[in-house]
Chains A and B, each alone.
Chain A
Amino acid sequence: MQKIIAPKKGFQFIDWKELFLYRHLFFFLVWRDIKIRYKQTILGFTWAVIKPFFSMIVFSIVFGKMARVASDGVPYPIFSYAALVPWTYFSSAMVGSTTSLVGNNMLSKIYFPRLVIPAIPVLAYLVDFMIAFSLLGVLMVYFHIFPGYNIVFLPLLILLMVFTASGIGMWLSSLAIQYRDVKFATTFLTQLLMYGAPVVWPASMIPEQYRMLYGLYPVAGVVEGFRSALLGTNPMPWDLILPGTLSAAIIWISGAFYFKYKERIFADVV
């Protein structure tokens, strides 16, 4: 095995072959992340449910009962919970990914493809997602709501959700390591982004002519898609999902380039 180490110049794309070589490390780090997340807590993985569940209760009271926000013909609690499940995943994975490089003491001690790091929370939070998702099943039985044939698109929506979180994660983590402001900004940015997504309100409130444009926000398509796939509120919102996929792809590819461009300085500025 021969290798040349020299200054890297210009932009480079992901070295898939190398990533494959480090798959064991990647899976162990994801496993570590899952394993330690709820160590020394009383409720353990129940926390994965508590966050979306209590948000649902508050939103049902504030937006459902008091503000009487429309909920596309289904009870408000399940209307909001179906959106909170992907949203909670998205926001935790994004925040986790953003803060993953800062203060990571492995960066300056050992070599491995740096891309592994922001991808860890993106994968690890899928466990929380599954748990929160199973409660969604319970709620659907409780409210007597059964999914239609649109449920076949669910894996696609989950994929888009993971993809978006990972793309944003690559951008923000490599920015955060140099500009620590990003770390502070993301925590409150997620708040703003949530109200920007159709989590507490239905996407049917968006005027028809702006829907495609609004769809460029990938989370919008994911969240509305979840409702369509599971609650059958509306037909599958392809006019949101397709633009969302496009922008997610742009974010992901540019994020990968930016990350690869910046990764050579990580060990020096961490």
Chain B
Amino acid sequence: MNNLAIKVENLAKRYRIGLKEKMHRTLFASVTSWLKSPLANFRELKKLTTFGEADDAEDIIWALRDVSFKVREGEVIGIIGKNGSGKSTLLKILSEITDPTRGRVLINGRVSSLLEVGTGFHPELTGRENIYLNGTILGMTKYEVDRKFDEIVDFSGIEKFIETPAKRYSSGMRVRLAFAVAAHLEPEILLVDEVLSVGDAEFQQKCLDKMSEVTTSGRTVLYVSHNMPSVESLCHRAILLEQGRITFSGTAAETVGHYLGKKVLSARPRIDLSAHPNRAAKATSLLKTVQLLNTRQEEVTTFKQGEDIIFSLELDARDHTIKTPTISISVLDATERVVCQLASDRMSAQSFEIGKSARLRCRWTDCPLKPGTYSIAISVKKFGRMLDAVADITTFEVLHGDFYLSGNIAEGKGVFLPRGNWTFNNPD
């Protein structure tokens, strides 16, 4: 049991991001640049594959930097971190989808990776055909699929539709079938990326059960997820990635605690954004402060369902004036999924400009979220181009409240509370 399954040494991966668009002030500049554009485009496209001398050119990002760790046979390791911290890149390198820029990995055993459910699924093919296709894509032989076919169909629970083209399936059915195939892989090392967060609650439970069955069967598993409880229950150890580096590693509970602890710290009602660590790369600092207020204009971080949440923003464009910007506040849940966005251009037709110290207020009436912790991110855009963006600014708590003012505060199921009413017609 003490043999090494995976050994990662100083792994680094460099990406070139977005090809920058230039804006032109004059017609002449636009025309000359259009004439020169084939050459410029060629240079830009060529750069996709060449990196040249300067490693720190501004459109290069290091998705992973000097990552090293070891995984012993039979260990289940969780990899956690924020979006863009390099988790998926790490799995992609381990599954050989993309090459590392530096470093090396030693792997002992047959690897299967599950970065997406239903890779290669085709809507025109029937359930049966898709099982064979997807199974082969995931690395099973035809014989293996033959042998497990009934089990797969049984697990998916869609026996009746097995000869129906997948395009007639509901999205839930498609996911069930796809996961059923993946669940029957028998590799020595399994790499899983955030694929359990699909389907309804019942099916998710089934997937988690299957996962814990896999993890207790002595297989080596690397498991990437935003779902902290599942990491804690499934994994022995966990690694925390931040901006491409391993910043913490320990037992699953320790790492999750460390990760969440960092976030809890930031539950503040008034945040200075002028030099915030979570500002996006290449953003100009426009956002100065943000305040979370309740209707009584008190700075708070807890709100009841049905209460109004007021975001008060201060922006500073210094000597510039930014006309017709769009500001949007994203609200994310604990799994970092965007629950909703409060966008200035969609919520009000009135346009405005940002000059020296502009103040803005966004009132979110009737918070319908289910109880829990949410975080916010704010971005400033102009014509779709990002000017400033800060992520993970603060968290706020939504508490259970009498949303409908009906006196009944039973919790119920669902992601949010819908508005509406019931009418009753009783024949006399």
Kindly specify which of B106-114, B225-233, B241-249 makes contact with the partner chain: B106-114
* A28 partner, pick from B104, B113, B136, beta carbons under 8 A: B136
**Closest beta carbon of chain B to A20's beta carbon, Å:** 13
A1-B110, A2-B106, A6-B105 given as contacts; is B96 within 8 A of A35 (CB)? no
- Contact indicator B96/A111 (Cβ below 8 Å): yes
CB-CB < 8 A to A262: which residues of B?
Answer: 49
- A66 → B minimal CB distance (Å): 40
The B-contacting residues of A in range 17-31, CB under 8 angstroms, are 24-25, 28-29
Q: Which of B107-130 contact A (CB under 8 A)?
A: 107-111, 113, 115-116, 119-120, 122, 124-125, 129
* C-alpha spacing A5/B105, complex, angstroms: 5
Q: Which residues of B contact A54 (CB under 8 A)?
A: none
Whether the pair B105, A265 counts as a contact (CB closer than 8 A) is no
Contacts A5-B107, A35-B125 given; does A267 touch B119 at CB 8 Å: no
Contact check, A28 vs B45: say whether CB atoms are below 8 A apart: no
Query: Given the complex, which residues of B lie within 8 Å of A144, measured CB to CB?
Result: none
Q: Interface readout for A115-154 with B: 1 if CB under 8 Å, 0 if not? A: 0000000000000000000000000000000000000000
A-B contact pairs, 7 of them (CB 8 A): A3-B111, A6-B103, A6-B104, A8-B99, A111-B96, A112-B137, A178-B46
User: Count the A residues whose beta carbon is within 8 Å of the partner chain — how many?
Assistant: 33
The closest CB in chain A to the CB of B141 belongs to A24
Is the CB–CB distance between B129 and A35 below 8 Å?
yes
**Chain A residues with CB below 8 A from B110, complex form:** 1
Would you list the 7 A-B pairs with minimal beta carbon distance, nearest first? A6-B104, A5-B105, A111-B96, A39-B124, A267-B98, A264-B99, A36-B124
B347 CB–A CB distance under 8 Å: no
| B92 and A108 contact, CB distance less than 8 A | yes
Q: Are B100 and A36 in contact (CB under 8 A)?
A: no
A268→B15 contact, CB < 8 A: yes
Q: A178-B45, A178-B48, A265-B49 are in contact. Are A5 and B122 (CB under 8 A)?
A: no
| Binary contact readout B66-106 vs A (1 if CB under 8 angstroms, 0 otherwise) | 00000000000000000000000000111111111111111
Q: How many residues of B contact A (CB 8 A)?
A: 42
**Whole-angstrom CA separation of A269 from B49 in the bound complex:** 9
Among B45, B109, B120, the one with the most A-chain Cβ atoms within 10 Å of its Cβ is B120
Q: Is the CB of A111 within 8 A of B48?
A: no
Nearest Cβ in chain B — how far from A11, in angstroms?
A: 14
Across the interface, B96 reaches (CB within 8 A) one of A5, A28, A105, A106, namely: A5
Q: Are A4 and B48 in contact (CB under 8 A)?
A: no
Chain A 92-120 against B: per-residue CB contact (8 Å), 1 yes, 0 no?
00000000000001111111100000000
Q: Is the CB of B107 within 8 A of A32?
A: no
**What CA separation (Å) do A112 and B97 show in the bound complex?**
8
A107–B97 CA distance with the chains assembled, in angstroms: 7
Task: Report B's interface with A, CB cutoff 8 A.
Answer: 15, 42, 45-46, 48-49, 92-111, 113, 115-116, 119-120, 122, 124-125, 129, 132-133, 136-138, 141-142
Q: Besides A1-B109, A1-B110, 9 other CB < 8 A contacts?
A: A2-B106, A4-B105, A5-B96, A24-B142, A32-B122, A36-B122, A108-B97, A110-B137, A262-B49
A7–B129 touching, CB < 8 Å: no
| Residues of A contacting B46 in the complex (Cβ-Cβ under 8 angstroms) | 178
A35–B132 Cα gap in the complex (Å)? 14
Does any Cβ of B come within 8 Å of A209's Cβ? no
CB distance from B175 to the nearest CB of A (A): 15
Whether A1 contacts B108 in the complex (CB less than 8 A), given A35-B125, A40-B124, comes out as yes
Query: What's the minimum C-beta distance from B160 to chain A, rounded to whole angstroms?
Result: 22
Closest to A40 in B: B124
A240-270 CB contact bits vs B (8 Å, 1 = yes)?
Answer: 0000000000000000000000101101110
Residues of chain B with a CB closer than 8 A to A179's CB: 42, 45
Are A32 and B97 touching (Cβ within 8 A)? no
A28 touching B133 in the complex, CB below 8 Å, given contacts A178-B49, A268-B98: yes
Residue of B94, B99, B106, B107 with most chain A CB atoms under a 10 A cut-off? B99
- A28 partner residues in chain B, CB cutoff 8 A: 132-133, 136-137, 142
Task: Identify the interface centre among A6, A28, A107, A109: most chain B CB within 10 Å of its CB.
Answer: A109
In the docked arrangement, what's the CA distance between A5 and B94, Å? 8
Q: Complex Cα distance A6/B101, Å?
A: 8
| In the complex, chain B residues whose CB is within 8 Å of the CB of A4 | 104-107
A32 touches B133 (CB 8 A): yes
Q: In the complex, which of the residues A36, A106, A110 has the most CB atoms of chain B within 10 Å of its own CB atom?
A: A110
Instruction: Chain B residues near A6: list those with CB within 8 A.
Output: 100, 103-105
Which chain B residue lies CB-closest to A6?
A: B104
